[in-house]
Structure 1
Amino acid sequence: MSESVVLPALGESVTEGTVTRWLKNVGDSVEVDEPLLEVSTDKVDTEIPSPVAGVVEEILVQEDETAEVGAVLAKVGDGNGSGDSEPAGDSAAPAAEAAPEQEQAQPSQHQQQSEPEPQSQAASTSGGDGASSSGDSQSVVLPSLGESITEGTVTRWLKSVGDSVEVDEPLLEVSTDKVDTEVPSPIAGVVQEILVQEDDTVEVGGELARIGSGAPASSSDSAPSAEDTNSAGEAQPKADAQQEAAPQQQEAPQQEAPQQEAPQQEAPSAPASAGAAGYEKPAPSDEQADSAPKAPAASSPAAEAPVASSAEPSDSNAGYVTPIVRKLAHEHNVDLSSVTGSGVGGRIRKEDVLAAAERASSAQTAPSAAPAQAAAAPEVSELRGTSQKMSRLRKVIAERAVASLQSTAQLTTVVEVDVTRIAQLRQAKKDEFLQKSGSKLSFLPFFALAAAEALRTYPIINATVDGDSITYPSTENISIAVDTERGLLTPVLRDAGSKNLSEISGEIADLAARTRDNKLTPDELSGGTFTLTNTGSRGALFDTPLVFLPQVAILGTGAVVKKPVVISGPEGDSIAVRSTVYLALSYDHRIVDGADAARFLTQVRERLEGGQFEANLGI
């Protein structure tokens, strides 16, 4: 029986997505929640997991093709179209026939030692539908994800029916029109029922799942099935499959020990190879299950060793790997198979890749010390010589940039600022600031504070245009431009004019980190009244930043550099080495005049050159 994989709703304003890469081919096996393909939208590039376990039977939308939300992308079935699992809940006999297939999809259940009735076994083969019978279950509902968010789409369940979950442990992933986020479990217990399937959309407050204190009845069904089938001659293939999946049972008869010793090492390799970390080996078929116990019995222990060792890397890096993590690993030449994930369920996170790259760099320091004089060869991008379509997010940025230029009259005013006193203050206070605030004292918080103060004096720079009306906000909400793998995003530092340097520094660091990790809430990306972009972080002296509607101004801060400067004093002019920076203000000339921009920049420059920020440190 085949099931359709459809394009889920990826946000309220997203109506379509482009297939950028299929991670599976026709004929490949796929597990539940295993990434099936990558899709790009105007908001985000994301992976679509498989809602069911089985074999990819048909791919309906090819790479680089665009599909509307709800369109069928592929079909996943059991490989033979028999559909045996459908009537499993009706009687014990059909359950026995479907048991070998269920054992392949859920090999971990063979480790249980309990002895349920045949009806419990039937419930197991039906996918755990009967697990919700416990009377102490509690509902998990979709929480409010932002003031303007009314619904969300379940993109991936991180837990399955029968899994244990702790308080605040991520339970599922939900996508909105602003951001993808994880929904934690409000209680501890066992997942008894999942009410909203992957790719389905639910309103805020809608019930997602039910969690109880007891394990579902289907969690211990498959262990005694070996005893049942051993007494029935026609069920011998099932017994062989169970002998491979659960050879570690210590209650096996003594005369069978030599035959089970070999499969003990081979059994973990089957479920490990079917996980998200390795796509080469599908789950074992019925024929493989029949023959697996016999082959190791005839082989020598030396031949069995590679099988056991091959399972270890699969376990160490098993889990969901996002495109960002995969790209980061490629950039740092990190082999994901050698990385142990620290995330939930062994998922490999960005921090794991960076730590692995740092260890590799430290290990290479000693051997590379001798030829240190040789210049390092510049890195050659894998994109060289290729042609690729723009991502949906890049298309949206392009459209908005062109629309902004066509509907506004933009120009840029630049001033040079002597920030030597701030540099001296940073040098004197950076250690104490880091110790007391937990964040580094960079130049950016000084620029943000000075800009927020000037916005209060000249609110026209902080205004928005609505037709022929000008709106002056009551707060200074500064959007901070953050460079991410997906593109440029602008989380908002709210009410910046009322904060000190410690608060501004901490919030900017937190917003930037969560933006790159895709952990922001939708409200944190909206509501900005003015933008600050630190182009100097990449060494640029200055640029002419582009204003994005509905804002009317954006301030670009260049690199802080030391250079000789003419200084006028009581004894005449002199030349000294000073720390300087260029500040470039782009603005909408429809409502902001050049004189307004000059007055704003003059106040910012005087505030920075004065260097009187000790009272604003907040430590």
Structure 2
Amino acid sequence: MLPQLPCQVDFLLPRLADTLVEGTVARWLKRPGERVSKGEPLVEVETDKVNSELEAPIDGTLSEIVVPEGETAPVGAVLARITEEGAPAASAGSSAPATDRTPADQAPAGEGGLSPMRRRIAERTQEARATIPQGACVRDFDLSRLERNGGWTAYFVKALALASGADSIGVAVEVPGGLLVPVVREAMRRSTQEISADVADLAERARANRLQPAEVGGAGFTVTNVGGGGTLMAFPLVSPGQPGILAPGAVRSDGRCYVTLCYDRRAYDDYAADRLLAKVEEELARL
């Protein structure tokens, strides 16, 4: 009788977003030789759109890790191999071992001493500087009469959506090792309380690597609330594919704050951008 050969399944890097071309393995959650269950988180993967935990597609044993932590692979690449339940496990002697590192920001430093996420942020920053004619304008908003119920971010998301007509607004969220931008949908029709709850939920799941690919694409504008950390004014770069980004600063003791609109000059000239920023202030006053 011929010996039974192990039946192995290739565990591939899926396309987590429409424009995704590659991902970086941040952390393996299992070691070669350990059993895995279908639907169990197996590996954390970082991309320029979302950080995700990929689940095991079958019950079985992790027999080989092909792409070790800290390395980048293209979409469709084999990340690991799993021996199906009931089949003899293959030797894992040549597999790359998983480690005990936990935070994504402790991933091995790559080129220039940067973590994979920081390296991608640097690449996108260079792309933005090289391909987008950046412009910026600033206004000093009076928020002293606004009766706020919830975080400031929700109010700026709502006002920007109404002023620009963009119903999907990205919200910059600081995560270990970098920055992610989940998207608030249907911002024009939803209340600030609903948006505030959505922002809190998206931020929590972004920091826990539990965002879904559909939650990080398709934003018409972005809000980055730099004032949350006390910064008075900032000039963030416009991301490729968006016309602008709104950066409210810290609300001062007199109830005023500097709000910066950075914009793609191909979408707005200086006068149009200033009118948009003025309209954001008008919409805030109506909330």
TM-score (norm 1): 0.36
Corresponding position of 1:444: 153
Question: Post-superposition shift, 1:518?
Answer: 3.8
1:555: Cα distance to partner? 0.8
Pick from 6, 9, 16 the counterpart of residue 146 of structure 1: 16
| Separation of aligned partners in 1, 2:208 and 2:119 | 22
Q: Counterpart of 1:412 in structure 2: which amino acid?
A: A
SS of 1:595's partner is helix
Structure 2 partner of 1:507: 198
2:224–2:247 Cα contact (<8 Å) kept = yes
* CA distance 1:182–1:208, shift in 2 (3 Å): farther
Give the equivalent residue in structure 2 for 1:593.
269
Structure 1 residue 608: Cα displacement: 1.6
Per-residue CA distance 1:549-596 (angstroms, 9 max, x = gap): 332221111112222xxxxxxxxxxxxxxx222221122334412332
CA contact (8 A) 1:144 1:205 kept: no
Kept after mapping to 2: 8 A contact 1:159/1:171: no
| Structure 2 equivalent of residue 156 of structure 1 | 28
Structure 1 position 491 matched with structure 2 position 193:
no
Partner of 1:287: none
Query: Counterpart of 1:554?
Result: 245
Distance 2:247 2:80 in 1: 46
Note closer, same or farther for the CA distance 1:519–1:145 as it changes in structure 2 (3 Å cut).
Answer: farther
User: What residue in structure 1 maps to residue 143 of structure 2?
Assistant: 419
**Structure number with larger C-alpha Rg:** 1
| 2:82 is aligned with 1:209 | yes
Aligned-pair CA distance for 1:498 = 3.9
Where does 1:360-371 land on structure 2 (aligned, <5 Å)?
none
Question: Are residues 445 and 321 of structure 1, via their aligned partners in 2, closer, same or farther at CA, if it must alter by over 3 Å?
Answer: same
**1:185-213 deviation digits (Å, cap 9, x = unpaired):** 466x6x2574x64229783899953543x
Q: Equivalents in 2 of 1:560, 1:193: separation in Å? A: 52
The reply to whether residue 581 of structure 1 matches residue 257 of structure 2 is yes
Partner of 1:183: 54
Q: 1:152 to 1:535 in 2, by over 3 A?
A: closer
Distance 1:162 1:580, change over 3 A: closer
- Do the aligned partners of residues 150 and 131 (structure 1) sit closer, same or farther apart at CA in structure 2, a change above 3 Å counting? farther
Using the TM superposition, give the Cα deviation of residue 454 of structure 1 relative to its aligned residue in structure 2, in angstroms: 0.7
1:545 matched to which residue of 2?
236
Aligned equivalents of 1:588, 1:177: Cα separation in 2: 21
Q: The residue matched to 2:188 in structure 1 has which SS?
A: helix
SS at match of 1:561: coil
Q: After superposition, what is the alpha-carbon deviation per residue over 1:344-371, rounded to whole angstroms, capped at 9, x for unaligned?
A: xxxxxxxxxxxxxxxxxxxxxxxxxxxx
- SS of the residue corresponding to residue 158 of structure 2 reads helix
Greater relative CO (CA pairs within 8 A, separation 6+): 2
Q: Structure 2-normalised TM-score?
A: 0.70
Aligned to 2:92: none
Residues 167 and 449 (structure 1), Cα distance of their counterparts in 2 relative to 1, 3 Å cut: same
Distance 1:543 1:514, change over 3 A: same
CA contact (8 A) 2:66 2:81 kept: no
- The aligned runs of 1:524-539 (5 Å cut-off) are 524-539=215-230
Counterpart of 2:285? 609
Residues 170 and 222 in structure 2, CA contact (< 8 A), matched pair in contact too: yes
Q: Distance in 2 between matches of 1:531 and 1:153?
A: 25
8 A Cα contact 1:417 1:580, kept in partner: yes
8 Å contact from structure 1 (residues 152, 204) kept in 2? no
> Which residue of structure 1 lines up, in the alignment, with residue 169 of structure 2?
478
Does structure 2 retain, via aligned residues, the 8 Å contact 1:555–1:586?
A: yes
Residue in 2 aligned with 1:169? 40
1:140 touches 1:210 (CA, 8 Å); kept in 2?
A: no
Give the whole-Å Cα distance in 1 for the aligned partners of 2:62 and 2:120: 39
Structure 2 counterparts to residues 219-238 of structure 1, below 5 A = none
CA 1:130–1:496 in structure 2 vs 1: closer, same or farther (change >3 Å)? farther
Give yes or no for contact 2:53–2:209 (8 Å, CA) kept in 1.
no
Is the 1:178–1:521 contact (alpha carbons within 8 Å) kept by the matching residues of 2? no
Q: Which one of 322, 335, 353 corresponds to residue 102 of structure 2? A: 322
Residue in structure 1 matched with residue 94 of structure 2 by the alignment: none
Query: Could you say what secondary structure the match of 1:453 adopts?
Result: helix
Please tell me the residue identity of whatever aligns with 2:41: P
| 1:496 Cα deviation from its structure 2 partner | 2.8
Q: Is the 8 A contact 2:32 2:65 kept in 1?
A: no
- Deviations 1:124-150, CA, capped at 9 Å, x for gaps: xxxxx96958xxxx9786585435358
CA distance in 2, matches of 1:156, 1:493: 30
Measure how far apart 1:530 and its partner are.
Answer: 1.3
Quote how far apart the aligned CAs of 1:451 are: 0.5
- Structure 1 or 2: more strand by fraction: 2
Distance 2:257 2:16 in 1: 38
In structure 2, the CA distance between the partners of 1:390 and 1:420, relative to structure 1 (3 Å rule), is same
Once residues 124 and 47 of structure 2 are traced to their aligned partners in structure 1, the CA distance between those partners, rounded to angstroms, is 20
Q: Over residues 508-548 of structure 1, what are the superposed CA-to-partner deviations in whole Å (9 max), with x where a residue is unaligned?
A: 22332333344444554443331211110111222233223
Amino acid in the other structure paired with 2:28:
R
Equivalent-residue separation in structure 1 for 2:134 and 2:22 (angstroms): 37
Task: Give the Å deviation of 1:322.
Answer: 2.6
Count, aligned residues = 268
**Take 2:191 and 2:78, find their aligned partners in 1: how far apart are those partners?**
37
